[in-house]
Structure 1
Amino acid sequence: MFDKILIANRGEIALRVIRACREMGIQSVAVHSTADAEAMHVRMADEAVCIGPPSSTDSYLNHAAVLSACEVTGAQAIHPGYGFLSENAAFVQAVEDHGLTFIGPSAEHIRQMGDKITAKETAEKLGIPVVPGSEGGVPDLATAKKVAADMGYPVIIKATAGGGGRGMKVAATEKDIDTAFSTARSEAKAAFGNDEVYMEKYLQKPRHIEVQVFGDGKGGGVHLGERDCSLQRRHQKVFEEAPGPSISAKERARIGGICANAIAKMGYSGAGTIEFLYEDGEFYFIEMNTRLQVEHPVTEAIFGQDLVREQIRVAAGQPLSFTQDDLSVTGHAIEVRINAEKLPNFAPSPGKITQFHAPGGLGVRMDSALYDGYTIPPYYDSLIGKLIVHGRDRPEALARLWRALGEIIVDGVDTTLPLFSALLAEPDIQSGDYNIHWLEKWLAQNLED
């Protein structure tokens, strides 16, 4: 087992890893930019190293600075959290070249699943159901029109190197294809430096279902059920729950088994998430995230497993501490992502926290790096906390979420907290009857100008 782990991240996920390390008797090293000198993860870690100025490019994304911090502190492994360097194959290769351990999958698997076309081809070979679409990239408009005509409209055009909804456009009819194709390519070029796009059939009312998988890197793998992440704004998840309210135990076992077998065949190591669109009882692969997810706490709640601890164990060469037969769902969990943003337009709202009070009580977990007097810097993602609730069933989880939302206090900045209280009053949310388009439509009618 490792003696010391460096956490190449910030905020609540850095705290999450530090806590796991502390329980395991492992020393932790925090890295930080000058803007994060007073951040909670810096205060809580056993050691801290400043790695650069506020810009992520010059600090949290700086390969040399992170590796140098390992060298000066004697850290043997790096936990990337999520975002930043968590899915950067070049960084993982550099970590390995320096004789260090990356707590996550291999550079090869990150590359394989980082390109959307290669990922889809790999998934299909592994027996994972995929969305009908183009065979590889679509080089020009004429090809796009032919592929769309063969599939039938509507279609969606996506950047092969995409993420976060960028380089993604829908063409509802043939008259939309010219604009959608050119816009998707230009957005992809601007965001990722790569204008290659591919096309898929656009499903009308799907849900976003993702399966949590874990591989031991030696040909073994398990799944820990699914999460429903359908409530999204501009392709960014807002509200997640597990198990999915639309998924039966039989469907869970079927798709979970397919995913577990796939990562076992890959020889995949560590945590991963295989994401699907789900409609009319069918699952369609969209991508694989080769890292821990923001919403991993809901899975931890219903399975009673510490996924970060398991990541560390597997990276250290130890076997999985559980088998598939050991895993069973207990109750229901929901997570809401709280951002420092001003409604109704979701404009970033950095600034000083004048008062912070986390909710508590049975079945309530608050993952946040906030504290009274902390100043949220303007340089990074606006996520400031995750509120997670767990109950014996979905109605109890919803009731606990309602209670917890009434207890939490975040003063000094604007937040998205009012959004969740409003959502809980909606019959569709209470019943679990929603899809990936529901929230956008609701916001257009109720909040956004």
Structure 2
Amino acid sequence: MKKILIANRGEIAIRVMKTAQKMGIKTVAVYSTADRNAPHVKFADEAVCIGEAPSNQSYLLGSKIIEVAKGLRVDGIHPGYGFLSENADFAEEAEKNDIIFIGPRSKAIKMMGDKLAAKDAVKDYEIPMVPGVDRAVTDPKEAVEIAKQIGFPILIKAAAGGGGKGMRVVEQEKDVEEQMKRAISEATSAFGDGSVFVEKYVTSPRHVEIQVMADSHGNVLHFFERECSVQRRHQKVVEEAPSAVLTPELREEMGQAAINVAKSCDYLGAGTVEFLLDADHKFYFLEMNTRLQVEHPVSELISGVDLVELQIQVARGEELKIKQEDLKINGHALELRVYAEDPLNDFLPSVGTLETYKLPVGNGVRVDNGFEEGMDVPIYYDPMLSKLITYGKDRDEAIQMMLKAIEDYHIEGVQTTLPFGKFVFEHEAFRTGNFDTHFVKNYYSPEVLKAKTNEEARIAAIIALKRYQEDQKILRTPIL
């Protein structure tokens, strides 16, 4: 593999290019008119404009991207995450054109992309499942009967897609019909598939996922877990590895379950098996993401591997050289997704110009970044600017390094999730590890963040005044 095209933009495109460069592989960037001057375009060896700013006129044009790849004699395509990364048709079209898709086979993408098909695939491996039904439900009356059997609250959930879309928690029988209609409508709009299923809603769950890697020689490894419970709108904002609550025994059990999920669909490449962990530390299979995850850096840091490098090696047909017994957890890693969002206004996107954009640096600090000072944050794409990652010898050190890195990250021109991140990492619930997916609901509000910010500003003013007063007391002797 001498040349790869990265069918993505921003920080993940640069992240993949850095590893390709390290491996002596040439890179091709694709970009929309809105990204003409973006860093990933400058970083690549070659770059091609593929369309207008909206993603459906550029980054989602699979056939056009493949035509570009063929014209430039590209050997492989890395899809990153988002956009076409879990599009089975795109993967299949690439293979038909003798271009290696650096990801799983289309069959696995299809199977795991449909939550009902995924449940069906793994049932022979005795993997714990949340109580519910493993088929599509369209009749609200049937949903009520199911709810009575498994008990309220229930979760009505889209069979296709993710990101919290087509998902409704229902606590009472009278609300089932209305919430089901909304879930079906949202799922149809978001994924073109209105299929929903019903399962027991696990109260106070933690979201714990396992990173896996599989080669074409029958080897499947897991690279331990990531805790992803701090979320807003069912989407992750803070991730860490390892989890603060898993015992070695539970880690091994969940790791083996994740390997079995990968085996159930003849998986190839990097993937993530997601689980819910209840208050009693019982785990349940949630879904499998058939791509590299946003939060993969924390797994890389604690395991000492380059997951993108392994992806490329596996795609080339190479056998994994690492054995499971070779993998050990070293240290602790945290990640904050730095979004151009306003945490004081329901995390709504904040567009504008990055008038100031200075990244933190230092030992144990990693920033996977896709922007630079003076750039506009476009309205057309996910508003993530970068991922801020810290690595320490233990969890406490990683937290302290993260707080210092947030302080050293200077952004003006847009609102970001940096203040929210500071709130999380300073919060007692997070520091003690005693939190779940309801962290934002239970502890966070714009008013709390405003009050905290105001108090910090007041203390800073008092300290500055005190220093000024002390300086005035110093006797300054004139130089003769």
Deviation at 1:194, TM superposition (A): 1.7
- Cα gap change, 1:447 to 1:88, in 2 (>3 Å): farther
Equivalence for 2:324 = 324
CA distance in structure 1 between the partners assigned to 2:264 and 2:205 by the alignment: 28
CA distance in structure 2 between the partners assigned to 1:231 and 1:53 by the alignment: 35
Single out whichever of 120-129 and 72-81 deviates more from structure 2: 120-129
Deviations 1:253-279 (A, max 9, x none): 111022224424543110000001001
Deviations 1:34-73 (A, max 9, x none): 1100000000000000000001011000012101110121
Identity of aligned residues (%): 46
> After the TM superposition, which residues 130-145 of structure 1 pair with which residues of structure 2 at under 5 Å, given as runs?
130-145=129-144
Q: Highest Rg: 1 or 2? A: 2
Q: CA RMSD in A?
A: 1.4
Whether contact under 8 Å (2:344, 2:446) holds in the other structure is no
Equivalence for 2:57 = 58
Deviation at 1:441, TM superposition (A): 2.8
Equivalence for 2:349 = 348
Is 1:305 equivalent to 2:305 in the alignment?
yes
Deviations 1:220-270 (A, max 9, x none): 101000100000001010100010111111111111022224424543110
Equivalence for 2:152 = 153
CA distance in structure 2 between the partners assigned to 1:396 and 1:343 by the alignment: 26
TM-score normalised to the size of structure 2?
0.91
Whether contact under 8 Å (1:127, 1:262) holds in the other structure is no
> After the TM superposition, which residues 241-256 of structure 1 pair with which residues of structure 2 at under 5 Å, given as runs?
241-256=240-255
Equivalence for 2:210 = 211
Equivalence for 1:267 = 266
Secondary structure at the counterpart of residue 136 of structure 2: coil
Equivalence for 2:416 = 415
Equivalence for 2:385 = 384
CA distance in structure 1 between the partners assigned to 2:319 and 2:419 by the alignment: 44
CA distance in structure 2 between the partners assigned to 1:127 and 1:266 by the alignment: 15
Equivalence for 2:4 = 5
CA distance in structure 1 between the partners assigned to 2:244 and 2:447 by the alignment: 24
Equivalence for 2:292 = 292
Whether contact under 8 Å (1:141, 1:178) holds in the other structure is yes
Is 1:101 equivalent to 2:90 in the alignment?
no
Deviations 1:174-230 (A, max 9, x none): 122122212111211222222111011001111000010110033210100010000
CA distance in structure 2 between the partners assigned to 1:245 and 1:352 by the alignment: 38
Whether contact under 8 Å (2:119, 2:134) holds in the other structure is no
Deviation at 1:447, TM superposition (A): 5.5
Between Structure 1 and Structure 2, which shows a larger proportion of strand residues?
1
> After the TM superposition, which residues 13-162 of structure 1 pair with which residues of structure 2 at under 5 Å, given as runs?
13-162=12-161
Whether contact under 8 Å (2:158, 2:183) holds in the other structure is yes
Single out whichever of 393-402 and 137-146 deviates more from structure 2: 137-146
Runs of 4 or more above 6 Å deviation? none
Is 1:195 equivalent to 2:170 in the alignment?
no
CA distance in structure 1 between the partners assigned to 2:376 and 2:281 by the alignment: 46
CA distance in structure 1 between the partners assigned to 2:253 and 2:10 by the alignment: 36
TM-score normalised to the size of structure 1?
0.97
Single out whichever of 421-430 and 93-102 deviates more from structure 2: 421-430
Equivalence for 2:440 = 439
Equivalence for 1:364 = 365
CA distance in structure 2 between the partners assigned to 1:96 and 1:184 by the alignment: 35
Is 1:426 equivalent to 2:441 in the alignment?
no
Whether contact under 8 Å (1:344, 1:447) holds in the other structure is no
- Look up the equivalent residue of 2:306 and give its one-letter code: D
Equivalence for 1:179 = 178
Deviation at 1:430, TM superposition (A): 1.0
Whether contact under 8 Å (2:3, 2:74) holds in the other structure is yes
Deviation at 1:445, TM superposition (A): 6.9
CA distance in structure 2 between the partners assigned to 1:322 and 1:40 by the alignment: 34
Single out whichever of 114-123 and 291-300 deviates more from structure 2: 114-123
Secondary structure at the counterpart of residue 375 of structure 1: coil
CA distance in structure 2 between the partners assigned to 1:362 and 1:325 by the alignment: 28
- Look up the equivalent residue of 2:326 and give its one-letter code: D
Single out whichever of 236-245 and 402-411 deviates more from structure 2: 402-411
Deviations 1:76-101 (A, max 9, x none): 10000000000000111111111111
CA distance in structure 1 between the partners assigned to 2:377 and 2:181 by the alignment: 37
Whether contact under 8 Å (2:16, 2:80) holds in the other structure is yes
CA distance in structure 2 between the partners assigned to 1:119 and 1:265 by the alignment: 9
Secondary structure at the counterpart of residue 410 of structure 1: strand
- Look up the equivalent residue of 2:439 and give its one-letter code: W
CA distance in structure 1 between the partners assigned to 2:185 and 2:237 by the alignment: 27
Deviation at 1:147, TM superposition (A): 0.8
Deviations 1:385-409 (A, max 9, x none): 1000111111011111011111111
Equivalence for 2:223 = 224
CA distance in structure 2 between the partners assigned to 1:297 and 1:361 by the alignment: 17
Single out whichever of 261-270 and 418-427 deviates more from structure 2: 261-270
Whether contact under 8 Å (2:420, 2:449) holds in the other structure is no
CA distance in structure 1 between the partners assigned to 2:245 and 2:372 by the alignment: 37
Unaligned runs of 5+ residues in structure 1 are none
Unaligned runs of 5+ residues in structure 2 are 451-480
CA distance in structure 2 between the partners assigned to 1:126 and 1:61 by the alignment: 35
Deviation at 1:171, TM superposition (A): 1.1
Single out whichever of 272-281 and 186-195 deviates more from structure 2: 186-195
Whether contact under 8 Å (2:423, 2:449) holds in the other structure is no
Secondary structure at the counterpart of residue 15 of structure 1: helix
CA distance in structure 1 between the partners assigned to 2:11 and 2:316 by the alignment: 24
How many pairs are equivalent?
A: 448
